[in-house]
Every structure is written in structure tokens, then in C-alpha cells.
């Protein structure tokens, strides 16, 4: 056991185990868990693994290129760091560290509405643009102010989450007292004793990582300075009545790229195009909303076949390796979002951990490109897959 702690992490599972040791239980479960029995959570990864690559030999692999174009910008990898609520609680000012690592890797970072670090703090990392994710709030005046601040901060791409009309039942959060709790044990485990059992996190984040509120909402949530108070406020502000008419309103308000996150149905994909979206994320919210739905690997090719020629498709959920990135491109996506991988590698080793994880993803992808006979990522198609 002692020697294993000194090994360099080589896979997502390695970073995940390191993060589990470092984080308080309530926070690790919040990030790692899904809804219900976590059937969809498991499908998301298993179905990517089931997509078989087609190995081809004696193809020139001397000049491998993992770059792609996305919304007019060249990315070094077909990947975006997905928006993660409370991501900044895993390491001191975690979203800032993630933005620096993303900049160095040549990929976009997407900041969540309910991230810990505010837009202006993330913008100060560099002059490279980042993406911003929005939830529709009942107070449209607040939404308009957030959009104005995003434009002022240099955001070009807005990701609007559309699959949160009601919150999925997440049993891990209930047990840990994050959704009202089911008795004293949940609240006990999420309190001071859990912090004492994780002193490195308590010092790095609990003491040195303040403020702990949702930075983008701080001006609207008065007399609150911890995520629990902010979660209560946002829970009362999330608008469950949002329809396609609201997407049309948002399209008029936002002049940049508009991406809808949470598409899992062909008809919804068509309606997203009709509402003026520039792109969409095929996503089931990382298995955190409706348990039992299809994986994104299963739905991506259906949606790509129906509307892929009319829009920009991104996929989210279960992508863990560079091989998965090639699978995603082959099934019709222009890029993939990763959520748990970036936030758990940050939790494990900070910015250096995320930098290492992204380098491993790139290395894996280069190998997959070279051995499928498709040296350029932007040329990857269904021929990269074994058809049975």
C-alpha cells in the first residue's frame, strides 16, 4: 500500500482513487455519484468501451495531428472541460487552476454558473477566451446581468443547460445530508468530523480557499458565504417552466455561440436547431438526472445521422481516454466534454494533476489515430470503427 501511493497516476481510475482519499466524503460523492441506482452512470463509460476501434497497419503515422476546429478556433485536442458545479471546492480556487491547465493544453474551459470562482477571477488567468454555462433563473433580470458580465469577460460561447427542469434523485447526496438528509448520520458525516479526517483539504480549501460562495451569484445571495446557502437559493431560483420559447428569447439576448447542453433525443435536436442554437451537447448530465436513460455513446450516432450536417455536435458523459475521443469523433461529434476527469484530477494533484491527465489523454489519442490509420483527428469518421 505504501509503495502504491508513490506510483504516478496513469489512468482516470488512478486520479479518482487519489481524489477519494483527499476529499471529504460528501464532496467526493457529490462529484462521483449519479442519480437513482446509477445505471446510466455506469452505462456512460461501459458503452464507450464497447465501441470497437478498427486497427489498420502500414499507414503513415509519422505526423499525427490531434487538433480540430470548433466554433472558429483551433483546439489542440477535441475536448472541452465541462462545467462543474462547486468545482472550486476540490482545490483552492479550483476553477482558476483548471483554466490555467486548459490554456496550456490548448482547449477551452467552461465555467459553471454555480462555480466557486467568479467570471472576472477566471478571466484574469489569461486573455484566452473561456466558455460559460448558464442555468435559466426565474428572475430574467439576473439572467440578463449574468449574460452582460459574460460578454464583458470575453466569453464567446454560452452553454445553456436544458435538462434540469427537476433535480434527479441522488442517493449519495441524500445520505450525506446535501439534499435535506435522512437523519443525523448524513449531517454528521458532512460536518466537522469529516473535515478533520481530511486535514489537507480542510487547510487548502476550507481555510485558504475562501470565499466559498458561488462567485457568479454572490451579489444576489445576501448574507451567505457557504455553498449550502447558495444551493438553497439556486434551488428556489431554478425555473422549471422553461420551454423552447425561452431558448428563442435567449438567442435574441446572446450574440455569441449558443450551445444547448442536455440533448438526448432526435426530435429535441431538431428543435434546438430551429430555436437558433449553434451547437448542442449530447448529454444525460453525467448520469445525474434521469436514471435508466440511454448512454451518450448510444445516442450520439443517432443524433449525428439525423442532424449532424446542420449543427455542431459535442458529446458529454463517460469519456475517459484518448481512445474515447477518437470514438466520439467517429460517431459524429466535433469534440467531447469531460467533467469528472478534470475535477477529480484537480482534487488529486491540483493543476499539475490535470496537466498530467490531459497529456495522457493526448498521448492515448495519438496512439489511437496512428493505429486506426487516421493520422488527423479532423478526418476521423466511421471508418475508424469496426462494423459488425
Q: What is the DSSP string of 328-343?
A: HHHTT-SEEEESHHHH
pLDDT digits (tens, 9 = 90+) for 28-37: 999 999 999 9
Quick one: pLDDT at residue 159? 98
Which of the residues are catalytic?
285
Contact criterion met (CB below 8 Å) for 90 and 206: no
Q: Does residue 134 sit within a domain?
A: yes
State pLDDT tens for residues 174-219.
998 876 543 333 343 456 777 788 999 999 999 999 998 899 999 9
pLDDT in tens, 144-174: 999 999 999 999 999 999 999 999 999 999 9
Cell of 243: 420551454
CATH number at residue 352: 3.20.20.70
User: What distance in Å separates the CA atoms of residue 134 and residue 83, rounded to the nearest whole number?
Assistant: 9
Cα 261 versus chain centre, distance = 10
- Global pTM reads 0.95
- Say if 366 falls within a structural domain: yes
pLDDT, average across residues 235-254: 93
pLDDT at 192: 74
Answer whether residue 3 is part of any domain.
no
Backbone angles phi, psi at 344, to 5 degrees: -80, -30
User: Cell numbers at residue 231, please?
Assistant: 444551493
d(CA 121, CA 19): 25
Asked if the bond preceding 211 is cis, omega within 30° of 0, the reply is yes
CA 92 – CA 242 distance, rounded (Å): 34
The predicted pLDDT at position 195 comes to 79
- Asked if residue 52 belongs to a domain, the reply is yes
Residue 260: domain span? 8-384
Taking the C-alpha atoms of residue 261 and residue 272, their distance in angstroms, rounded to an integer, is 10
Beta bridge partners of 173: none
For residue 232, name the pLDDT band (cuts at 50, 70, 90). confident
Instruction: Work out the average pLDDT over 245-270.
Output: 97
Q: Is residue 1 in a domain?
A: no
Q: What is the pLDDT of residue 177?
A: 83
| CB of 273 closer than 8 Å to CB of 248 | no
Q: How far apart are CA 341 and CA 322, in angstroms?
A: 12
What DSSP character marks residue 238? B
With a cut of 60, say whether residue 3 has pLDDT above it.
no
The pairing of strands 73-75 and 68-70 is antiparallel
Q: How far is CA 151 from the centre of its chain?
A: 21
Give the sign of the dihedral formed by CA 372, CA 299, CA 287, CA 285.
Answer: positive
Distance of alpha carbon 251 from alpha carbon 276, whole angstroms = 6
Asked if the structure places residue 285 within a domain, the reply is yes
**Residue 2 resides in a domain:** no
Cβ atoms of 173 and 30 within 8 Å: the answer is yes
Instruction: State the total domains in the chain.
Output: 1
Amino acid at each position: 500500500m505504501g509503495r502504491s501511493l508513490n506510483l504516478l497516476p496513469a489512468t482516470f481510475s488512478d486520479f479518482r482513487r487519489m481524489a477519494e482519499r483527499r476529499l471529504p466524503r460528501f464532496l467526493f460523492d457529490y462529484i462521483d455519484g449519479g442519480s437513482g441506482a446509477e445505471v446510466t452512470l455506469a452505462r456512460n463509460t461501459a458503452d464507450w468501451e464497447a465501441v470497437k476501434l478498427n486497427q489498420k497497419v502500414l499507414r503513415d503515422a509519422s505526423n499525427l495531428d490531434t487538433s480540430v476546429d470548433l466554433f472558429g478556433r483551433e483546439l489542440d485536442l477535441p475536448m472541452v472541460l465541462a462545467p462543474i458545479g462547486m468545482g472550486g471546492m476540490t482545490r483552492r480556487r479550483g476553477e482558476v487552476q483548471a483554466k490555467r491547465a486548459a490554456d496550456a493544453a490548448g482547449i477551452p474551459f467552461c465555467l459553471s454558473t454555480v462555480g466557486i470562482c467568479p467570471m472576472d477571477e477566471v478571466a484574469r488567468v489569461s486573455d484566452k477566451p473561456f466558455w460559460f454555462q448558464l442555468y435559466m433563473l426565474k428572475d430574467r433580470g439576473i439572467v440578463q446581468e449574468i449574460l452582460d458580465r459574460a460578454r464583458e469577460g470575453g466569453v464567446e460561447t454560452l452553454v445553456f443547460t436544458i435538462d434540469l427542469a427537476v433535480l434527479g434523485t441522488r442517493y449519495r447526496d441524500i445520505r450525506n445530508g446535501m439534499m435535506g438528509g435522512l437523519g443525523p448520520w448524513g449531517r454528521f458525516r458532512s460536518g466537522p468530523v469529516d473535515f478533520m479526517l481530511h486535514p489537507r483539504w480542510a487547510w487548502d480549501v476550507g481555510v485558504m480557499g475562501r470565499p466559498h460562495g458561488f462567485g457568479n451569484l454572490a451579489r444576489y445571495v445576501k448574507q451567505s458565504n457557504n455553498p449550502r446557502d447558495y444551493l438553497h437559493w439556486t434551488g428556489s431560483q431554478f425555473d422549471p417552466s422553461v420551454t423552447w420559447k425561452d431558448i428563442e428569447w435567449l438567442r435574441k439576448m446572446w450574440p455569441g455561440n449558443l450551445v444547448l447542453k442536455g440533448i438526448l433525443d432526435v426530435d429535441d435536436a431538431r428543435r434546438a436547431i430551429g430555436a437558433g442554437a449553434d451547437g448542442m451537447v449530447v448529454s444525460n448530465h453525467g448520469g445525474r438526472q434521469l436514471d435508466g436513460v440511454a448512454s451518450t455513446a448510444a445516442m450520439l450516432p443517432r443524433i449525428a445521422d439525423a442532424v449532424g450536417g446542420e449543427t455542431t455536435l459535442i458529446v458529454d458523459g463517460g469519456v475517459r481516454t484518448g481512445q474515447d475521443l477518437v470514438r466520439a469523433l467517429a460517431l459524429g461529434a466535433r469534440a467531447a466534454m469531460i467533467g469528472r476527469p478534470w475535477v477529480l484530477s484537480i482534487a488529486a494533484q491540483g493543476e499539475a494533476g490535470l496537466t498530467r491527465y490531459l497529456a495522457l489523454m493526448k498521448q492515448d489519442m495519438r496512439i489511437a489515430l496512428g493505429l486506426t490509420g487516421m493520422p488527423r483527428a479532423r478526418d476521423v469518421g466511421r471508418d475508424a470503427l469496426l462494423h459488425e
